[in-house]
């Protein structure tokens, strides 16, 4: 049995092999750069106007208007002292311009421009390269692309970028009692709900499973199922059958498939019978079958590894320290992860904390952490992992 910290340390310290691929910039949201990106051009690429107004040759009270430049015009003016051109936002500022003045601060009499106030040298001109110079570093390798990142790279003219590949994931649920939702139940059977929950959790964090298989509690079947899954997967996630019951065959089946155990059992509630193993560059998590345990373990332990396998640091869920809305005491000797809801920066610990109860988790957005035998008073800070 390992402590929570130790289990996370084992996961985070895994050396991982990362492959890269080229994707369209449009499809790169949340992907992670596999190389440093340098600017292929200056940004902006030419001096341009920040306002609708007039570009001014020299700084004085009145000017002769000699023409007009709109955004996108390639026409070249060279302004002499005392000359001005009508100019619009984003238009190329003519050579010889001392400043641009916004139109609201001017008056036009026939062909004469009169300023209501004098601008400063360079005012309202966006200088070539003022944001970024050609060859300057735009984003370092491991940068995770945001919407603004897509905007930035688009403004530099990039339409394809090299990112780390996402891990190939497969899911196997085990249990004789499990029946797919939509079918009818016989006595003793229950609906299989973990695959749906884990697939959705994967999706919400930017991943997907390439296959999802349901298996009976049959040692040979499970052993073969694991062997086949390992032919083409980087992360195999199993649910159920990892405890100590007579029908829990997953651990032995993994061992027989040459998977090396990295830890088995974590001192925590829920999710004690959690298994993590490795075979070469492939990783295996066997999650306890109870629905709330399996989903909690996914967020706390599987997510950091998936992040690492996508080129990220693998920090897992965002951890917040927030005040708790009522007293709570953990009377047990294991640290707990509690289904909780963060609302208005307060943490509410929800009712129905049982490992099998997924409904309370469905109403919350977080997991609050309390140490063994720890007593927390209303208003004091509690460590909380934000799910969404």
**Min dist. Cβ of residue 306 to ligand AMP (A):** 20
3-state secondary structure of 271: coil
Dihedral sign for Cα atoms in the order 93, 99, 103, 109: negative
3-state secondary structure of 9: helix
As a whole number of angstroms, the distance between CA 100 and CA 360 comes to 60
Q: Which two tokens stand for residue 369?
A: 């952490």
The answer to whether 241 contacts ligand AMP (rule: CB under 6 A) is yes
Residue 315 DSSP code: -
Among the listed residues 270, 291, 311, 335, the single contact to ligand AMP using CB under 6 A: 291
The answer to whether 194 contacts ligand AMP (rule: CB under 6 A) is yes
Nearest alpha-carbon partner for 166 in 319, 351, 19: 19
Kindly calculate the radius of gyration of the chain based on its CA atoms and give it in whole angstroms: 30
Among the listed residues 94, 167, 175, 316, the single contact to ligand AMP using CB under 6 A: 175
The dihedral region occupied by 45, where left means phi > 0, alpha psi between -120 and 50, and beta the remainder, is alpha
The answer to whether 157 contacts ligand AMP (rule: CB under 6 A) is no
Q: Which of residues 288 and 311 has its CB atom nearest to ligand AMP in the complex?
A: 288
Binding residues for Mg ion, per CB under 5 A?
A: 175, 240-241, 289
The answer to whether 97 contacts ligand AMP (rule: CB under 6 A) is no
CA dist 200 → 53, 196, 299, 358 (Å): 52, 6, 12, 14
The answer to whether 245 contacts ligand AMP (rule: CB under 6 A) is yes
Q: Which of residues 115 and 302 has its CB atom nearest to ligand AMP in the complex?
A: 302
**Min dist. Cβ of residue 246 to Mg ion (A):** 10
Among the listed residues 48, 98, 144, 290, the single contact to ligand AMP using CB under 6 A: 290
Kindly indicate which of the ranges 80-88, 110-118, 189-197, 203-211 contains the residues binding ligand AMP, using the contact rule CB under 6 A. 189-197
CA dist 195 → 174, 177, 274 (Å): 10, 14, 17
Q: Which of residues 178 and 309 has its CB atom nearest to ligand AMP in the complex?
A: 178
Nearest alpha-carbon partner for 151 in 263, 25, 328, 340: 25
The site string for ligand AMP over 348-367 (x = CB under 6 A, - otherwise) reads: --------x-----------
Among the listed residues 108, 118, 137, 190, the single contact to ligand AMP using CB under 6 A: 190
Considering only residues 29 to 88 of the shown chain, the ones binding ligand AMP according to CB under 6 A are none
> Which residue has its beta carbon closest to ligand AMP?
289
Q: Which of residues 216 and 374 has its CB atom nearest to Mg ion in the complex?
A: 216
């Amino acid at each position: 049995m390992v402590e929570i910290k130790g289990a996370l340390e084992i996961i985070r310290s895994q050396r991982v092999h990362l492959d890269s691929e080229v994707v369209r910039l449009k499809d790169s949201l949340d992907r992670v750069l596999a190389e440093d990106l340098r600017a292929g051009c200056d940004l902006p690429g030419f001096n341009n106007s920040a306002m609708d107004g007039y570009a001014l040759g020299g700084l004085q009270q009145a000017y002769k208007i000699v023409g007009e430049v709109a955004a996108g015009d390639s026409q070249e003016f060279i302004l002499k002292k005392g000359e001005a051109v009508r100019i619009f936002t984003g238009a190329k500022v003519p050579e010889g311009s001392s400043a641009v003045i916004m139109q609201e601060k001017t008056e036009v009499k026939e062909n004469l421009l009169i300023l209501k106030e004098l601008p400063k040298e360079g005012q309202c001109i966006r200088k070539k390269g003022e944001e970024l110079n050609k060859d300057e570093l735009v984003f370092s390798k491991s940068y995770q692309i945001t919407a603004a990142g897509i905007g930035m790279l688009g403004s530099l003219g990039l339409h394809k970028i090299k990112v780390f590949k996402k891990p190939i994931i497969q899911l196997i649920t085990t249990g004789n009692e499990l029946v797919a939702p939509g079918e009818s139940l016989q006595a003793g059977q229950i609906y299989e709900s973990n695959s749906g929950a884990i697939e959705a959790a994967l999706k919400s964090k930017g991943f997907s499973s390439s296959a999802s298989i349901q298996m009976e509690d049959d040692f040979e079947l499970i052993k073969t199922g694991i062997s086949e899954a390992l032919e083409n997967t980087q992360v195999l996630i199993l649910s159920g059958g990892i405890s100590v019951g007579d029908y829990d065959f997953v651990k032995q089946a993994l061992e027989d498939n040459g998977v090396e155990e990295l830890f088995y059992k974590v001192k925590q509630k829920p999710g004690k019978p959690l298994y993590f193993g490795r075979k070469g560059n492939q990783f295996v998590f066997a999650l306890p079958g109870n629905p709330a345990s399996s989903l909690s373990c996914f967020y706390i332990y599987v997510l950091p590894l998936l992040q690492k396998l996508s080129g990220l640091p693998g920090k897992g869920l965002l951890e917040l320290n927030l005040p708790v809305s009522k007293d709570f005491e953990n009377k047990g000797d294991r640290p707990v992860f509690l289904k909780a809801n963060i609302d208005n920066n307060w943490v509410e610990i929800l009712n129905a904390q049982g490992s099998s109860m997924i409904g309370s988790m469905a109403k919350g957005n977080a997991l609050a952490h309390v140490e063994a035998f720890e007593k927390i008073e209303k208003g004091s800070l509690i460590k909380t992992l934000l799910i969404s």
